[in-house]
């Protein structure tokens, strides 16, 4: 959506150095920008691209403004300011309120007039769909789910039952929320399933990525607090509690009943075992899992980056002979 | 469903210490239970919560009965006994037999009268759906699949084709069974796909978690035996054979043609490489993968729990200089 | 589909030693083959099964022909030759062109007459579906996607929007392409979403496995080149570029903006961090991730195969005391 630099500055509330009437209609990286593009500089790794950019305007820090050959938006947090401007230039596609003729909606469900229920959606008993919420094609919303206002379920999302979702949520395709947790008691005749009778409570402003699963609680609810961001193919097990503004990159897995604090960051394919408590402001490196309570904020890691396979094979052999090496040192010490 | 303690004791076959006419209508943990709740004590970690519980009754071991302030069900396996009672208190929702008007069912498919085919289900040629089986909304059952009695496909499940599923199966949303295995032959012009012409055979009493995938065999079938339990986001590759009562926690991945014994347990994000054989009663720790045949029952592990990132960086540096350390010891020995 | 050995030899272009009029109607492994089966020998691990095979014919190398008790197809690449013959014996099921009455297709979409749109498919605005392409049941194709000729979307596939897919693509159930990348800017009030305005470009002859996700670009496109093969439950993040004929086994995850060369092979549960560049012909071992640019072709590894848990616990203790050992050696050296 074409918008002038002046409108962008006013909407987001930041200083514009340049002509307010210039119009942008897209976003681009510094090196691929054209005269209709908004761009940004938030990492010094890209500073050298600034002087030659062809963008209409660049969001940047005050210290970079002098090197900017075009209009500049000055911000202490250029990445966040860029994000807000980009959302104005590229708004989510609008939708017509209403229910598609092919959707199957239970008589006891409540769908407000401003909501959109897309083609081939199934909505179960006692479901409530809030104002301006969009339920995309192929989604299935099971019994007793509540979805608050301004949510967007992109397509093929499944909410099994007893899911309570806050406002402004964004659920990507293939997301499954409210599936049974993995609870089984062993007997001599095999496993006996533990009925999973809890639900899932999701706060406001939560985004959940494609094909991620969030299980219902065994007893009591699985809880995801306000502002949490979860990427694709993550697994949130039963009775996990994820604190506000925590973010999890792709393939993160959190085992059952673990409690995670606020503002934690889980990098790709990280995770935590079950029944532990993680304090606020913990960052977990990629490919790393937490195995016990964490009481101290900070960064945690335990992964081995790839080596050439031949070197790694030698290294693995040395590792396996560590006991022998220790014996040799002990002998020398005697 | 409200049920008296006496009925619970009789149905499950265990001793009740207390008033049989008291009625429970839900389950709860010891510390959150109210006068209408059934609770349980199976781990000594929660023993201290027993004396103050407000539950109507607690399932517990004989040795804990004296400390129970309320009615007690005495069991050698309180967790399994609780599971059976909880299933009586919280039965799966009932369904009306019949085929929803929006379902698309091939003329050659057989759906018995007691089955339920939900809204927007697609059922292909020659499919057979057994007695009291529930096929949830949005599911796609491809050609030549057979689903036995008393199965429940929750919603948005896909059985691609040639899947033979036993009785009392439970498939959660997003499960894909019978997709092509990953078989490719390399040529100078690129990959040539190996047609995957086998099927999938699944025994009785199998549960498969949300967004888990089970591929069809390349030649011959992928097989999952009776009583297997698989959690969310697991991957069972082509021609894998999973033995009876084996359980796999979330994100477990088993590569092609591996044969797994009975009663094995795979913890979260564990797995096995392809073309190996694992004996019965093997437990694999979280984040650990088996790389060769396992002939001996027991627990296997190989993971590094998280450390503070600064400590880990130092540790990684020491590890990488292991060869140098060995040389230094060798020199000392001379 | 029954076919004679002579036709197979002619179609694929390889030498037949044996009667051309014999007919095969299926494929089988050497040890399970019957008189109607085609089999193959490509790995010496199975050589001992050759003399007793009951197959009608075996695809093998010239050097194995003397030991073959039945008809032989001689090939330098028996596995690829077998693959081509198997595709003739087991062709993909044919489909009738046309649009199922239950499909919901936007007025502005273009579906050619030779395509098949299955039951309960949703096709959005400005979508283009090419010649002989099959869009399986339950699939959702969002706005502005283009699918070229001869593609097969098996079932329940989701293309969110702005996906451009080449010819002869094969997408398995649960695949999600074009979902938002994971981009968030931190502020004192929480995360601000970075609009993901790029698309996804997929070349010809690409296969993507069940429940794999490919995110759209943040700015600019995510790109998958011709001939790439991706297995189940993989994650391709925003702005990744995967080079021609690269293959990724199950659960591989590639973080954002990483560029991968041609003919790379990623084994199961491997991956790469974001913003790195991998040259052509790199192989990554199972459970291994690349953490920095790779300039040299070859095999890379960094994983620890499972050990008995007691041995592993000791080994982990030795590892953690590596610093102490180094101090002891230092002391000895003084």
Q: pLDDT tens for residues A287-317?
A: 999 999 999 999 999 999 999 999 999 999 9
Using a CB-CB cut-off of 8 Å, the residues of chain A touching B250 are 182, 235, 237, 253, 255
Q: Quote the minimal CA–CA distance from C162 to chain B in Å.
A: 24
- pLDDT grade, residue B75 (50/70/90)? very high
Residues C306, A316: Cα–Cα separation, whole Å: 12
Nearest Cα neighbor of B183 from B116, B247, B257 is B257
Select from C138, C303, C329 the Cβ nearest to the Cβ of B328: C329
Rounded to 10 deg, the angle between the C309-320 and C322-333 helix axes is: 50
Tell me the Ramachandran region of residue B187: left when phi exceeds 0, alpha when psi lies from -120 to 50, beta otherwise. beta
Catalytic residue from among C238, C241, C245, C275? C238
In this predicted structure, the answer to whether residue B290 has a pLDDT above a threshold of 90 is: yes
What pLDDT does residue B293 have? 98
**C253, C292, C328, C333: best to mutate for the A interface, most A CBs within 10 A:** C253
- pLDDT grade, residue A164 (50/70/90)? very high
DSSP B72-109: EEE-SSHHHHHHHHHHHHSPPPP---EE-TT-EE-TT-
Distance from the first to the final alpha carbon of chain C: 79
Using a CB-CB cut-off of 8 Å, the residues of chain A touching C182 are 209, 229, 231-232, 249-250
C272 CB contacts (<8 Å, ≥6 apart)?
Answer: C254, C255, C258, C260, C278, C284, C289, C290, C291
In this predicted model, what pLDDT tens digit does every residue of B170-194 receive, in sequence order? Answer: 999 999 999 999 999 999 999 999 9
Question: Which strand ranges, in their side-by-side order, compose the sheet holding B140-141?
Answer: B104-105, B122-123, B140-141, B158-159, B176-179, B213-215, B235-236, B253-254, B271-272, B289-290
- C-alpha gyration radius of chain B: 25
Q: How long, in residues, is chain B?
A: 334
C245 is catalytic: no
DSSP B172-221: -TT-EEEEPP--EEEETTEEEE------EEE-SS-EE-TT-EEEPPSSS-
- The pair of three-digit structure tokens given for residue A244, joined into one six-digit string: 């506000």
- In the block, tokens 């889980």 appear at A266
φ, ψ dihedrals at A90, nearest 5°? -120, 70
* Cβ within 8 Å, pair B233-A237: no
Cα B228 from chain centroid?
A: 7
* H-type alpha helices, chain B: 5-12, 78-89, 309-320, 322-333
- In the block, tokens 């200089």 appear at B321
Residues A4, A108: Cα–Cα separation, whole Å: 47
pLDDT above 70 as % of chain B: 100
Q: What is the mean pLDDT of chain B?
A: 97
- pLDDT grade, residue A272 (50/70/90)? very high
Residues B129, A1: Cα–Cα separation, whole Å: 51
What pLDDT does residue B309 have? 97
Select from C140, C235, C284 the Cβ nearest to the Cβ of A250: C235
Q: What is the ipTM of this complex?
A: 0.97
Positions in chain C whose pLDDT score sits under 70: none
What pLDDT does residue C334 have? 85
- pLDDT grade, residue B211 (50/70/90)? very high
Size of interface B-C (CB pairs under 8 A): 206
Segment B232-261 shows an average pLDDT of: 98
Q: Quote the minimal CA–CA distance from C333 to chain A in Å.
A: 10
Give CA separation, C161 vs A150, C70, C85, in Å: 20, 53, 37
**Residue A1: exposure state from Cβ atoms within 10 A (0-12, 13-18, ≥19):** exposed
**Please, what sign has the CA dihedral across residues C2, B159, B272, A210?**
positive
CA atoms within a 13 Å half-sphere pointing along the CA-CB vector of C225 = 16
Select from B120, B190, B332 the Cβ nearest to the Cβ of C245: B190
C44 CB contacts (<8 Å, ≥6 apart)?
Answer: none
Question: What b/e sequence results for C282-313 when a residue is b if at least 16 CB atoms lie within 10 Å of its CB, and e otherwise?
Answer: bbbbbbbbbbeebeeeebbbbbbebbebeebe
Kind and range of the H or E run holding C312: helix C309-320
C265 CB contacts (<8 Å, ≥6 apart)?
Answer: C246, C247, C248, C282, C283, C284
Segment B258-267 shows an average pLDDT of: 98
Select from B122, B285, B302 the Cβ nearest to the Cβ of C305: B302
Residues C251, C228: Cα–Cα separation, whole Å: 15
Q: Quote the minimal CA–CA distance from A53 to chain B in Å.
A: 38
Nearest Cα neighbor of B238 from B259, B254, B219, B222 is B222
Kind and range of the H or E run holding B241: strand B241-242
In this predicted model, what pLDDT tens digit does every residue of B115-158 receive, in sequence order? Answer: 999 999 999 999 999 999 999 999 999 999 999 999 999 999 99
Nearest Cα neighbor of C217 from C189, C236, C234, C233 is C236
Distance from the first to the final alpha carbon of chain A: 79
What pLDDT does residue B334 have? 85
Q: 3-state DSSP call for residue B329?
A: helix
Beta strands A190-193 and A184-187: pairing type? antiparallel
Question: What b/e sequence results for A256-284 when a residue is b if at least 16 CB atoms lie within 10 Å of its CB, and e otherwise?
Answer: bbbbbbbbbbbbbbbbbbbebbbbebbbb
Question: What b/e sequence results for A140-171 when a residue is b if at least 16 CB atoms lie within 10 Å of its CB, and e otherwise?
Answer: bbbbbbbbbbbbbbbbbbbbbbbbbbbbbbbb
Select from A213, A273, A300 the Cβ nearest to the Cβ of B211: A213
What pLDDT does residue B93 have? 86
Using a CB-CB cut-off of 8 Å, the residues of chain C touching B332 are 329, 332-333
* Cβ within 8 Å, pair C231-B255: no
Indicate the Cα dihedral angle B261, B262, B268, B272, nearest 10°: 0
Size of interface A-B (CB pairs under 8 A): 206
pLDDT above 90 as % of chain B: 98
In this predicted model, what pLDDT tens digit does every residue of C152-208 receive, in sequence order? Answer: 999 999 999 999 999 999 999 999 999 999 999 999 999 999 999 999 999 999 999
Q: Quote the minimal CA–CA distance from A205 to chain B in Å.
A: 24
- The pair of three-digit structure tokens given for residue C195, joined into one six-digit string: 């609009």
Cα A88 from chain centroid?
A: 21
Residues B8, B25: Cα–Cα separation, whole Å: 11
Using a CB-CB cut-off of 8 Å, the residues of chain A touching C299 are 308-310
What pLDDT does residue C228 have? 98
Q: Quote the minimal CA–CA distance from C54 to chain B in Å.
A: 16
């Amino acid at each position: 959506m074409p918008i002038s630099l002046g409108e962008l500055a006013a909407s987001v509330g930041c200083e514009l150095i340049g002509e307010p009437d210039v119009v942008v209609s897209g976003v681009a990286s510094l090196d691929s920008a054209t005269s209709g593009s908004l761009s940004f500089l938030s990492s010094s790794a890209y500073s050298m691209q600034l002087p030659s950019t062809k963008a209409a305007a660049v969001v940047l820090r005050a210290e970079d403004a002098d090197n900017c050959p075009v209009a500049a938006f000055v911000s202490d947090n250029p990445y966040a300011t860029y994000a807000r401007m980009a959302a104005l230039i590229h708004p989510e596609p609008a939708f017509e309120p209403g229910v598609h003729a092919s959707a199957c909606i239970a008589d006891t469900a409540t769908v407000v007039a401003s909501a959109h229920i897309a083609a081939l959606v199934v909505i179960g008993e006692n479901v409530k769909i809030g104002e301006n919420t969009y339920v995309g094609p192929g989604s299935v919303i099971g019994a007793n789910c509540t979805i608050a206002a301004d949510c967007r379920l992109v397509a093929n999302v499944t909410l099994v039952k007893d899911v309570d979702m806050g406002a402004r949520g964004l659920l990507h395709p293939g997301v499954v929320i409210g599936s049974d947790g993995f609870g089984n008691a062993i007997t001599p005749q095999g496993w006996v399933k533990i009925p999973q009778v809890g639900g899932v409570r999701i706060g406001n402003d939560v985004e959940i990525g494609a094909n991620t699963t969030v299980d219902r609680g065994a007893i009591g609810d699985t809880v995801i607090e306000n502002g949490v961001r979860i990427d694709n193919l993550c697994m949130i097990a039963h009775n996990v509690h994820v604190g506000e503004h925590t973010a999890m990159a792709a393939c993160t897995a959190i085992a059952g009943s673990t409690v995670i604090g606020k503002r934690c960051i889980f990098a790709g394919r990280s995770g935590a075992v079950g029944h532990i408590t993680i304090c606020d402001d913990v960052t977990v490196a990629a490919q790393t899992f937490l195995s016990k309570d964490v009481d101290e904020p900070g960064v945690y890691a335990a992964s081995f980056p790839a080596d050439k396979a031949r070197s790694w094979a030698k290294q693995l052999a040395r590792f396996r002979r560590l006991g022998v090496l220790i014996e040799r040192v002990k002998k020398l010490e005697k």
